[in-house]
Each structure stands twice: as structure tokens, then as C-alpha cells.
Structure 1
């Protein structure tokens, strides 16, 4: 997974460069997805870069969309290298679930009537270059680590914060709810509230050369 940045860059679709089969497929999938659902921010963490863009959400929750599909069609895409902070931008791209270690949650929280009684368990995990602290939610009295390993690939952590190195500097920030791909993490352990409790950190922010709102819940059909 050490060349994700280069691999994703090769798949970026920029205007007037639609001659490849993969680029044409990206256009079709993105344009098809844009006819349904609401548009939400996609802020992902890959092994050697961060991935920003927008995706269409048809169901109740972003976690369901990521679990249900192996790929997502993104628009207004920007890649930011962890090595040196360099960026690449494009109008469209297809990103596979197994290329992304985690994604900041965005959009609706889901149907409240479907929620079951759960309690938060503090955990710390490492996935690629990122260490994430937060709370997984599981049945009271259950072993949260065993329980989370039996779930679908995308697992939410709430009240989370993240730490990693970017462009040679240590970076720590609050991320709210983050969706982690459990099939790709290196390890996870039970933690303590005092370890996980949010320190006095700034919220994670996105570079925004596209001058588009990246606040988390963006636009719906016919509603700004």
C-alpha cells in the first residue's frame, strides 16, 4: 500500500483528459451517482496521503454507503501527500474501499428508530501511519474488541482524535466521528477514558483551494 498516492494520482480525471477507459468509467459512475441522494464531504486517510472530495449518499449513513460498496465515485478531488504536503487535484475519481484506512464521518446520523442500546468503550488503534483514539459502541457487558472484529469492514469511532506525521511535522487534531476500515488496521486495544478523552486540540481541517464548503454536511437535492 506504499504507493497509494501515486496510484490515485494516475486515476485522477481532469478536464479534457477523458481518453482512457478508466477515466471514462469514472465520469459515467460519478455522473450516475450525482442523480441520487445528497452530496457530502469525503475526507479520507490513505497510507501515504489524504483524500478530499465529495460523494453522493443515498442511504441513512455514510458508514452504510462505505460498507455496501467496494468503490466510491468522488468529485472535486484533492490528494495531499503526507511526505511533503504536495497536492494533486481533479474533477473526478473512483476510490476503492481498500485504499482508504479511515474517513471522517459526514452527513446524516441514520434512522434513530433503528438504534439499539449500546455503551461506549474507549479504544486506541493504529492504522498505517495514523494513531486514532476514540470510542467504539457495543452491547453492555460484551467484549468490545471481539465484537468490533465481527462487524462489517467500516467501524465508527466517536469523540475521536488522530495523530500522524505530515510534511515532516507531528500533527494531532480532533476528528469527531471517524469511520475506520477494520480490515486494514494494524492493531486495536482497549484504552482508558483519560487516554481517549479529547485533549485541547484544534479540529482537523481541510485545505480548500476549490473554495467549496467542507464543513461536513454539504448539499441535498434542491436544498442549499
Structure 2
């Protein structure tokens, strides 16, 4: 059984779509999936990437695109009242449910639905209180949990960056990284043992740089 690490930030609509589509995309395969929250903004900053929200026309396109994808895939997706928003409260809440930096599917799904269904403000205080209540059975009760959550988020994000993760959703399998919702068929092929990966994975990424510098 192969292990998949799913890197996600709740601010990403593509992470929500991938979360919903992943079981269907990998149906019939044997795998173990772990969800690892990371701070997308820090990953983008490392690569001086403004992200879709930092380029006005791309921001408009992204919101249209993800809304269309939600419709066409049959995955409910409502843009929250404000986006982008600072995701730290949600990431830290998720990791208050963790002792090792990983969260289970219930925690990840509960927070993603909080953001991407209903069209409300993801950081509305009353809604955050309700979200914490919904996760009450998952939350670690020791007094160190909030500080540990902050540490785990830093460690998760640093480890993701060191491993080559540059955006979310990203999936890691045996050292290979797959990025984005549209990588799910490729991820499945890899798990299926497609010979392409042994023959072409490294070669495809080894094309010489053609720009001067």
C-alpha cells in the first residue's frame, strides 16, 4: 500500500475540489492518505510568486474557473464573502487536532466545507466558534495545543518547501510530487504502476533552460 501526503491550505479552492474528487479519482486503488496543512502564502513568497489573487485578471479568471469546475464536477463550491483571506486561524485550528502535523479527513473536510460551502465569511467570529465546536471531539485538550499547532504549521510549511512543494493542492508519493486538481489522473497512473514514470519522469524535467541569465 502506497502512502500519499496531501498538502493543503484551506484558502485554496483547488484544494477543496481536489479533496472532494480524490476518492473518485483513485477508486479501486489501495493507498493510505495523510493530510498535511501548510501555509500557501509562505510557499508562494519563497518563489516570489504573487499567486492568482495577486494578478487582477488572473484573480477574476481563477474565481470563474473554480466556480465552473465546482458546477461541472458536481462539487458544491461557493466563493466565500472575502477572498483571499488570512488562513492562519483555520490552519492552526486544524493542527490543534494533531500531534504530528497531519490531520484526518474529517478535520480537513469540516474546515474546507466551512470555507467553500455557503458563501459566508470564513473568518466570521461566530462561525469560527461554531467550527471549533464542530471539531470539539478532535481537538487536543492539553494546554500546549495552541502553541504546538503554530510550531507544527511552521514545520509543515518548511518541510513542504524543502521537498519542492510550491503550491497546493500537492500530492507526494515516494518522492514524486503532483500539483493541482488536474494532476489527479497522473497521480492515479503513478499508483497504477504506469511504466511512463520509470521511463520519462526524470527525462521530462531535464530539458535545458533556454533563457539567458
User: TM-score if structure 1 supplies the norm length?
Assistant: 0.28
Larger proportion of strand: 1
Name the structure, 1 or 2, with higher relative contact order (CA <8 Å, separation 6+). 2
User: TM-score if structure 2 supplies the norm length?
Assistant: 0.29
